[in-house]
Amino acid sequence: MKLSEPMAARCPTMSLMIFMHLLYQTQTQMMLPWEYGVRNLARRPVRTALTLVALATVVMLVFVVVGFIRGLELSLAISGDRDVALVYSVNSEENIENSSIEARTPDLLTASIEGVWNRFGVPHVSPELYMGTRVRLRDGSTGLGLVRGVTRNAPLVRRSVRLTSGHWPQAHEVMVGRLAAAKLGINNNELAIGQTIEFEGQSWTISGEFSAGGAAYESEIWCRLTDFQTATKRQDLSLVAILLTSGATPAEVSLFCKERTDLELRAIRETDYYGLLQQHYRPVQLLAWLVVFLVAGAGVFAGLNMMYGAVAGRVREIATLQAIGYRRRAILLSLVQEGVLLAAAASLLAGLVSLTVLNGTAVRFTMGAFVLRIDSVAILWGCGVGILLGGLGALPPALKALRESVAISLKAM
């Protein structure tokens, strides 16, 4: 469209719009086509495949570490119940395994605290003996397991626990959590119903399996409290778990513990207890995040090496593009486009493998066991690191190649 000078003078805004449109067309015509970068990846299938596998491996490591962090956080967050108060020895600090309280404590708590949930005349109070012990299997192998002696009141207080198969343990029987095998470092078949295990000098038959919605109990072995006290030659308890009514608070239980100084007790809300555990494991989480950044940094350097090799063989191609009129910025964007496309494909591949293979994998830990969680946060971190690797990895070699003289680069072999 061509305007006469009088019309252009009367319409300065239209003239400016036409000028910007022509300038935009000129700029876009000098940009390399999108298909150019895609075709370049297909022209070197072996190099592209190797780069894809390398980038996918780096992103996979990020998925594993972030999945570990998310699994630990969610396991501790799910384990607590706001309506449950834990009473244990004041000398054990946050380690309930070292706690030792008198066997009469549950009766004293039930008689002294009005906020205890009571239904059909049954107070929801669970006396428990909890400790770590060596568990021996039929083949002679041993592992460190977590055993909890409980009564039939335990499911009333531990409301997330569900018996998935088998029956409640009778005399010299145990039921195992769905992650107990992972805690022991063995195959799930070795803790099948009907199998026998040994701990504390006695043989126990597995009567059932339970789940707890991802809570820490899933890595434990439960048996009858009286049988466990007999086996360990102990008549004391480790803790008492109390289910409180909606109007009651753990402050009432704490007040009782402070008044009865002779018992040396302390009380805490169960969610607060696992919150303290989260703070205890905070250094581990920080170390895991440091590993994420180190893996990402190593991936950037690996991407640099791969992109340097890819660009080094295309010196003459880059110089030819400059000679026929393409600007350096257009060539740079095309090279970055190739790196980002490759990194995006690697991220999708790593994400698919992580969701189908790694998600839900059991991991042993000091507190028991938990599963890797490849959730939205893990996917965001993994794919974000992957895209970052592709973009940053392509910039330095591309800039170095573009700094070379066109005449010298055209003569390069």
Q: Are 228 and 147 in contact (CB under 8 A)?
A: yes
pLDDT at 151 over 50: yes
* Dihedral sign of CA atoms 222, 224, 228, 231 in order: negative
CA dist list (Å): 249 to 80, 85, 151: 15, 8, 24
The one-letter code for the residue type at 373 is R
Q: Per-residue confidence at 412, pLDDT binned at 50, 70, 90?
A: low
pLDDT for 13 equals 52
Tell how strand 125-136 and strand 368-371 pair up: unpaired
**CA pair distance 80, 272, nearest whole angstrom:** 8
* Average pLDDT rounded to a whole number, residues 355-363: 89
Left, alpha or beta for 325 (phi > 0: left; psi -120 to 50: alpha)?
A: left
Please state, for a pLDDT cut of 70, what percent of the chain lies above it. Answer: 84
269 confidence band (pLDDT: 50, 70, 90): very high
Distance CA 388, CA 318 (A): 24
User: Which H or E element spans position 285?
Assistant: helix 282-312
What CA–CA distance (Å, rounded) separates 367 from 278? Answer: 11
Span 122-133, average pLDDT = 93
pLDDT at 389: 79
Q: Where are the domains of the chain?
A: 33-76+282-410, 84-245
Give the span between the Cα atoms of 46 and 42, in whole angstroms. Answer: 9
Strands 202-211 vs 173-177: parallel, antiparallel or unpaired? parallel
Token couple for 125:
């109070």
pLDDT digits (tens, 9 = 90+) for 270-306: 999 888 888 888 888 888 888 878 877 776 676 666 6
Question: Across residues 309-313, what is the average pLDDT?
Answer: 64
**For residues 385 and 379, what is the distance between their CA atoms, to the nearest angstrom?**
10
DSSP letters of 64-114?
A: HHHHHHHHHHHHHHHH--TTEEEEEEGGGTT-GGG--B-TTHHHHHHHH-T
- The confidence score (pLDDT) of residue 25 equals 43
Q: How many CA atoms lie within 13 A of 188 on its CB side?
A: 8
Would you say residue 14 has pLDDT above 70? no
CB 74 within 8 A of CB 373: yes
Work out the average pLDDT over 57-61. 86
Strand intervals (E) in 270-408: 362-365, 368-371
* Contact (CB, 8 A) for 403 and 316: no
Task: Pick left, alpha or beta for residue 219 (phi over 0 → left; psi -120 to 50 → alpha; otherwise beta).
Answer: alpha
In sequence order, what are the residues at sequence separation of 6 or more whose Cβ sits closer than 8 angstroms to the Cβ of residue 386? 55, 58, 59, 62, 343, 344, 346, 347, 350
pLDDT of residue 162: 92
Of 15-19, 109-113, 178-182, the poorest mean pLDDT is in: 15-19
Instruction: Quote the pLDDT of residue 24.
Output: 43
The per-residue pLDDT for 333 is 79
Q: What is the pLDDT of residues 189-205, one digit of tens each?
A: 889 999 999 999 999 99
Write down the mean pLDDT value for the chain: 82
Share of residues in the chain with pLDDT > 90 (%): 33
Half-sphere exposure of 263 (CA within 13 A, CB side): 25
What is the rounded radius of gyration, in angstroms, for the C-alpha atoms of the chain? 32
Tokens linked to 413: 């072999």
Length of the chain, please?
413
Query: What sign has the CA pseudo-torsion 95, 101, 105, 109?
Result: negative
Least confident of 44-53, 62-71, 123-132, 218-227: 44-53
